[in-house]
Amino acid sequence: MIRRTVSLFRNLFRRSAVERALDEELQSSVALLTQEKMREGLPPSEARRRALMELGGIEQVKEDVRALRAGCLVEEFAKDVRYALRTLARSPGFTAVAVLTLALGIGANTGLFSIVNGVLLNPLRYSEPDRLLALYSRTPTYDQSSVSYPNYQDWVRENRSFSALAAYRPDDFNLTGMGEPERVPAEMVSASFFPLLRVQPVLGRTLLPDEDQIGARPVVMISEGLWRRKFGSSKDALGQSLTLNDVAYMIVGVIPADFHYTGINFQQSDVYTPIGQWNDPTFRDRRAGMGTFAVGRLKPGVAFEQAKADMDTLGRHLAGQYPEADKDMGIALVPLKQAVVGDIRPSLLVLMAAVGFVLLIACVNVANLSLARSTRRTHEFAIRAALGANRGRVVRQLLTESLLLALAGAGLGLLVASWGMRAALNVLPKALPRAEEVQLDGRVLWFTLAAAVLVGILFGLAPALKASRSDLHETLKEGGRGLSGARHRAQSAFVVVEIALALVLLAGAGLMVRSLAKLWRIDPGFDPHHVLTFYMSFPSTIDSPQVVRATWRQLHDRLNAVPGVQVASLAAGAMPMADESDLPFWIEGQPRPSTQAGMKLTLFYLVQPEYLNVMRIPLERGRFISPHDDEHSPRAVVIDERFARDYFGGQDPIGKHVNFGILNVTAEIVGVVGHTKQWGLDEGPAPGLEAQCYLPIEQLPDRFIPLAARRVGVVARTAGSPLAQPGSIRRALGQVNTRLVMYETKTMDGIVADSLGARRFSMVLLGTFAVLALVMSCVGIYGVIACLAGQRTHEIGIRLALGAERWKVLRMVLGEGAKLALVGVAIGVVVAFGLTRLMAKMLFGVSAHDPLSFAGVAGLLVLVALAACYIPARRAAKVNPVVALRNE
Amino acid sequence: MGGKRTDLLRGTLDLLILKALSLEPLHGVGVSHRIAQITQGAFQVSFGSLFPSLHRMEERGWVEAEWRASENNRRAKYYRLTSSGRAQLTVEERDWNQMVKIMRAAVESA
């Protein structure tokens, strides 16, 4: 075997060395012959000519040798393959089960690997992606918060480590003047953004630094999609104007359709406008982040650590210069890829390990099947050995069979993978970053091939070695019926391993299911059923604060009058489990913190009085916002119980005043309501950002009205299904203003479910793998017990003939199965105990060693295994003693 | 030399090569000479068959090759019988004798 392998290796990879040796051998032969001829008295030239003639031409001989060497290998291999195909075709049942098992195993692995490959392994699709970093503001409570634009501008000016920095924040526009008005997603980006990512426009140019300033003329880059949709991909689009929120923007370039950026808070957009043109006062406030984030490209030769030190110095400098905004703040740098996929990494690795187990079970299963089959083929092997086949030959023959099976499994597995991958991504697309980059690429195909070969060798080797080692003499004597105890033990060991592996997977899946069950039972603090949410865009013709407020009131009345809508409220600022918005504050009477970093933060919800009834949040003290809390009345605020507990302790908060520095508003606390789970059902401790407060939307100061009007949402409680409502609601909006656009329509139930997306993704996959494992290990134990019972037919026949009761035979066979299952489960529990700890982060409310989950899956596995054994056991018990004995 | 060219029976070439190598390691030309010698010049093996056969036997592990200096100090590739080659020789000799016996019986029976 080894020699052949070396020779194969030589032939395949060291072609030239083999060639050189052959050439040298022939040349030396010519020389030897020539010398002989010269000794016979011929002149040198004639001697050489004769020698060459006698040899028959060096190239000719070489060609013959080459053909033979290649032919040997190919011919033997072809013979092996033909024989293997014939053998496999003769047992179609075995072949089908084996290929199917392997297809599932390899397919599941390929599918998950393609996800891991697309998300974790592949570099981001930009030029030199390793040089890209995400930049954040670091506050005492948050390592990664948004960046205020003035700070960003100072970073750009003063850093020494980056060849470029870019800032971006999401926005939305009403696109009018081109057919139906529509809402288009937009992103404000700095002029440096596309050059930094080295994105080449399909047409035109990117934004210019001159255009990235207040007062510059409005320009826009559009997506290739919008370009195709609205301009038919015509080059004439350049220089034309696009009416966005009633302002004409000149189109300067088109962004290619394959551009994706998965950085935090970036939305794939149809239009990209220069961020520097935005003159909103809050945006220009050094204390406010406004959802702006930054990305940078390191200068060549600058290491990550250097850049970090540089930015730390810069941060300290800014803190000294602008203490109110920047004291105790810093700058955080994270490699962009880590920023994009960091959170999902541990879960994907756990899933990869789980799916590896599935493959292992598939291997063990097929190994077991072929072991059982090789038992029946012992006779064949013995005859072949007697006819002179050496052991290596038989092993190679069996390995060829396993490789063929594995490759067939892999081929089918690719189908399983591409189907399963698409299904997984379709069910839960939002759970994964970079999901659009997942595909079956070259690396995945190599992975599949490697998996197939490895699997082929893994499950082929054990039976092959066993078969070839069998004692010729004994076997022939036994008439091929013999089954040595060793093989029994191997098969049983395999089943135990399978059951143990299956238990580990089941335990993992069980823990996930329990976690999710716990999560679903959690009270989010509001009632999400029958609630519809959506956002409305305001035409910019509604611009003065008075008109905006009037429109809001009008919308409120109209929405509450829509048939089927029980109660509705506008909602801006934060939205539970969907939008985050926070404000720094201090409480009147307590010392005012001198710096921004020292301020406490609270989530804020800008709402109307009906909000409480739509969301069914309990009112605990005082009152909620009332219709009288308008712009003319004293400012009122309602806080949640967490706010009351954290900042007032035992005192009664009602009547106290809260100062919101950025808004320049001091409001009186008029009521306390229940806490809602802003961060999803699995909301962990969100340090420093748990307090919540509700402000009447109409009391928002004039200065902030245009900003709030950019994104106003609605929550509406409906009598029937919320999804039946959008039509009538859209008509109601149209009656207020024909240019109001409704977008991001969702049910609150859907939003709650989305908050568990990542966990559900893990649970669904882990559950699928566990079920696969369960089925495969049951097939395994069924096979072995059936085989054992079959082999004991004779013995059972004797027992029955001697008067043994049938139920005792049944119990005996079931007992064999139970023994294997219990040993497997015991080992599995120990292994799972060690391994589930690794998935502690994916769990919620259950310990990684949750006894209930463990006991549950262990019981399930034993039951299913026994059920699988029942069929062969009953068959054994029904044996007719006469037939069984006559069979001999 | 000019012995007459006799077509070798399929399979006999291997036997002859193994036999030729059974005394001592030889290079390709040496094998050719030794076969001519032990068949009293009856068989003149063409190098076009000899070299491929030697290489096939090397592949099968019946012979191993080694480079060393020839009798007149040239580098040449010498083939040596391995233990499995010796076993093969025994098998082929037995087969051949069997064959000869059968064929003789067949020819004489007529």
pLDDT digits (tens, 9 = 90+) for A104-126: 989 989 988 988 888 888 888 88
Q: Is A389 on the interface with B (CB under 8 A)?
A: no
Q: Using 50, 70 and 90 to split pLDDT, how confident is the model at A713? A: very high
Q: What pairs with residue A275 in β-bridges?
A: none
In angstroms, the separation between the Cα of residue B51 and the nearest Cα of chain A is: 7
Contact between A32 and B52 using a beta-carbon 8 Å cutoff: no
* CB–CB contact B75 A24 (8 Å): yes
Question: In chain B, which among 70-99 make CB contacts under 8 A with chain A?
Answer: 70, 72, 74-77
Tell whether the model's pLDDT for residue A15 goes beyond 90.
no
Over 80: is that where the pLDDT of A219 sits?
yes
Query: Residue A560: its pLDDT value, please?
Result: 95
SS3 track for chain B: CCCCCCCCCCCHHHHHHHHHHHHCCEEHHHHHHHHHHHCCCCCCCCHHHHHHHHHHHHHHCCEEEEEEECCCCCEEEEEEECHHHHHHHHHHHHHHHHHHHHHHHHHHHC
**B61: contact with A, CB 8 A cutoff:** yes
Contacts of B46 in chain A (CB under 8 A): 56
The residue-averaged pLDDT of A12-25 equals 72
Q: Is the predicted pLDDT of residue A522 greater than 80, yes or no?
A: yes
Task: Tell me the torsion sign for CA atoms A532, A538, A543, A547.
Answer: negative
User: How far A383 CA sits from the closest chain B CA (Å)?
Assistant: 18
3-state DSSP assignment of residue A679: coil
Nearest neighbour of B47 by CB, restricted to A56, A67, A68: A56
Convert the pLDDT of each residue in B27-57 to its tens digit: 888 898 898 888 888 877 888 888 888 888 8
Choose among B48, B61, B75: nearest Cβ to A61.
B48
The whole-number pLDDT of residue A550 equals 92
CB contact under 8 A, B59 and A69: yes
Residue A360: closest CA among A765, A858, A772, A829: A772
Q: How far apart are CA A761 and CA A749, in angstroms?
A: 17
Interface of A with B in 61-80 (CB under 8 A): 61, 64-65, 67-69, 72
The shortest C-alpha distance from A72 to chain B (Å) reads 8
pLDDT given at position B9:
59
Is the pLDDT assigned to residue A636 strictly greater than 90?
yes
The whole-number pLDDT of residue B3 equals 37
The verdict on a CB contact (< 8 Å) between A28 and B27 is yes
| pLDDT for the residue A790 | 78
Residue A567: the pLDDT is 95
Query: Considering only CB atoms, which chain B residues are within 8 Å of A68?
Result: 52, 55-56
* CA–CA min distance B77, chain A (Å): 6
pLDDT grade for A391, boundaries at 50, 70 and 90: low
Instruction: Find, in chain B, the residue whose alpha carbon is nearest to that of A68.
Output: B52
A351's CB contacts (< 8 A; 6+ apart) are A112, A762, A765, A766, A769
Asked if A1 reaches chain B (Cβ–Cβ under 8 Å), the answer is: no
β-partners of residue A583 are A602
Per the model's pLDDT, the better-predicted residue between A540 and A183 turns out to be: A183
Confidence of residue A280 (pLDDT cuts 50, 70, 90): confident
Q: A122-131, A149-158, A428-437, A740-749: lowest mean pLDDT where?
A: A428-437
Chain B environment of A55 (Cβ under 8 Å): 47
Which residue reads 């541990």 in tokens? A346
pLDDT (0 to 100) of residue A385: 67
How many whole angstroms from its chain centre is CA A564? 39
Range from A306-315, A474-483, A593-602, A861-870 carrying the lowest mean pLDDT: A474-483
Q: Does B48 touch chain A (CB under 8 A)?
A: yes
Top-ranked range on mean pLDDT: pick from A66-80, A205-219, A433-447: A205-219
Which residue in the set B29, B58, B75 is minimally distant from A33, CB to CB? B29
Beta carbons of B76 and A69 less than 8 Å apart: no
- Higher pLDDT residue, A1 or A641? A641
Q: Distance, in angstroms, between A25 CA and closest chain B CA? A: 6
- Average of pLDDT values for A583-588? 89
| A693: nearest Cα among A644, A633, A754 | A644
- Contact criterion met (CB < 8 Å) for A68 and B52: yes
- Contact A25/B at CB under 8 A: yes
Please determine, for residue A643, whether its predicted confidence score (pLDDT) is greater than 90. yes
Of B29, B46, B49, the CB nearest to A32: B29
Q: How confident is the model at residue A639 (pLDDT cuts 50, 70, 90)?
A: very high
Of A24, A29, A65, the CB nearest to B55: A65
- B25 at the A interface (CB within 8 A)? no
Instruction: State yes or no: pLDDT of A739 exceeds 80.
Output: no
Min Cα distance B42 → chain A (Å) is: 16
Q: Which residues of chain A are within 8 Å of residue B48 when distances are taken between CB atoms? A: 56, 60-61, 64
Q: By the CB < 8 Å criterion, does A26 face chain B? A: yes
Q: Dihedral angle at the C-alpha atoms of A121, A124, A127, A132, nearest 10 degrees? A: -110
Q: Do B56 and A68 touch (CB under 8 A)?
A: yes
Nearest residue in chain A measured CA to CA from B60: A4
- Given a cut of 60, whether residue A888 has pLDDT beyond it is no
Q: Measured between CB atoms, which of A31, A33, A61 is closest to B51?
A: A61
Question: Could you give the C-alpha distances from A678 to A567, A575, A745, A837, in angstroms and in order?
Answer: 22, 7, 19, 28
- Does position A698 have pLDDT exceeding 90, yes or no? yes
Examine the pLDDT at A620 and tell me if it is beyond 50: yes
Better-scored residue on pLDDT, A108 or A20 = A108
* Nearest CA among A102, A764, A203, A104 for reference residue A459: A102
Chain B's closest residue to A69, CA to CA, is B56
| pTM of the shown model | 0.71
User: Which among B29, B52, B74 has the least Cβ separation from residue A64?
Assistant: B52
Least confident of A149-153, A163-167, A171-175, A393-397: A393-397
Q: Quick check: helix, strand or coil at residue A174?
A: strand
Say what the ipTM of the complex is. 0.83
- Find the residue in A nearest to B61 (Cα): A3
Chain A, window 34-53: residues with a beta carbon less than 8 angstroms from a chain B beta carbon: 35
DSSP state of A242: E
* Residue A578 · residue A751 · CB < 8 Å: yes
pLDDT of residue A217: 93
> Does position A299 have pLDDT exceeding 60, yes or no?
yes
**Mean pLDDT in residue range A640-644:** 93
What residue of B is the nearest CA neighbor of A27?
B76
CB contact under 8 A, B77 and A31: no
What residues of B are in contact with residue A26 (Cβ under 8 Å)? Answer: 51
Whether A376 shows a pLDDT value over 80: the answer reads no
pLDDT tens per residue across span A553-576: 999 999 999 999 999 999 998 998
Best of B1, B29, B32, B79 to mutate (most A CBs within 10 Å, chain A): B29
List domains and CATH numbers for chain B: 12-109 (1.10.10.10)
Please, what is the average pLDDT of chain A? 85
- Residue A575 DSSP label: B
Q: Indicate whether A160 pLDDT > 50.
A: yes
CB contact under 8 A, A31 and B74: yes
Range list of β-strands (E), A674-711: 692-696
Residue A122: per-residue pLDDT: 83
Are residues A586 and A599 in contact, defined by beta-carbon separation less than 8 angstroms?
A: yes
Task: State which residue of chain A sits closest to B63, comparing Cα positions.
Answer: A3
Average pLDDT over residues A837-843: 84
**Contact (CB<8Å) B77/A25:** yes
Among the partner-chain residues B61, B70, B72, the one whose CB lies closest to the CB of A3 is B61
